Amino acid sequence: MGSHVARQFSEVDKLRTELLNNVDVITEFQRVEEEVSHREILTRIESVILEVVTSLSKDEAPVLALPSRSSWANISFDSAVGLQMCPGSSVSAVRSDCPSSATKFAQIVKLFLVIYKLVQSNSFATKRDIYYNNAQLFGSQKAVDGLVDDISCMLKVSRRSLHVLATSKGFISGDLCYMEEDGTRIDCRSTSAAVSVSSNIRGIKNIVSSAKFVLIVEKDATFQRLLDDDFCTKMSPCIIITGKGVPDVNSRLMVRKLWDALHVPVFALVDADPHGIEIMCIYKYGSVAMAFEAHSLTVPSVMWLGLLPSDLQRLRVPKDALIPLTRRDESKLCSLLGRPYVTGKPQWQKEMELMQQSKVKAEIQSLAAIAPDFLTSIYLPNKLRYGGWV
């Protein structure tokens, strides 16, 4: 049994050795900043409100300056960190005397009040709580979500430091046990059911795992298929996690937490389409909107395990399982090929150019056209055994 496991994971172990040789460099660049003290956060909020009060005392309309989180112009790229916000990034003015932004101004001030009370009392609230307690003012949950991130960026602190939590949408399963901040012990080793990703990742402690690797699975349907086929037992010891499509912050924080704690290879299993590639890039290099928190959200060591465009030809996936690229797909692919993190990865470029030339895409489920259990019995075990990642 021992020699079988050794052979099965020999390439994975080699990759881990390579990663560990670079881990000091990665840690140096990706050092997670110390949490800002409660007093410092309160002082930063007081400073913003003082400016508002000062403007009012001079009979001037108060203005808030929010960093622009949606512009590539404010982003720099570092291969050891990912996408990060440049110092001195451009800002957008939220005026209290302008009809188009007066409501937004009031929403931000209200959020500052809520956050101040939470930090001061050392209590937590979910974004959902905040919305329902002030539904008329905020109008939608989406407004609260975006403004909390704006304030986090403005104050240069993590969202958790603001004592605002979000309900997680991701799931995790495999060789992993840990303790929540409140002392609850979580065991992810059940073979039939997954565990919801914690809503308080920073509070996780006492992580215990013998996992050889972590597998990020793009879609919930594929994740459930891996559970049904007992993948975590077949490829034991390992951990699988899904953010169910575009990952929420908690799923990304969890992947980063596992990397920091275990330093084992992290692989991505996504559809062979531009959308799947972009989702993998979010885990690996981050997103423009959350670039201000890149140091705690990205894992640049993530490897692309599949589904590779070259796999479609190599495995002769039946043509009726392939889908023609849409104009939107082609546009997204061109955009990806021009991004700084792709231009430095020739193997990724080659795969994407192959997709461009073939003009087809495929979902992970397309492998079922070869054999119903092809994904879990042949494709993934062989990929992991023979180093089929890029």
Q: Give strand pairing partners of 242.
A: 171, 217
Q: What is the DSSP string of 166-188?
A: -----EEEES-EEE-TTS-EEE-
DSSP 11: H
| 3-state class (DSSP) for residue 270 | coil
The amino acid sitting at 221 is A
Q: Which residue has the tokens 């937490």?
A: 257
132 is catalytic: yes
Residue of 116, 131, 132, 386 marked catalytic: 132
DSSP 360: E
The amino acid sitting at 182 is D
Tokens of 36: 């800002």
Residue 98's closest CA among 63, 149, 143?
A: 63
Q: Count CA within 13 A, CB hemisphere, residue 299.
A: 29
Nearest 5°: the CA angle 197, 70, 53 is: 95
Residue 213's closest CA among 367, 387, 346?
A: 387
Residue 159's closest CA among 342, 292, 310?
A: 292
Catalytic residues: 132
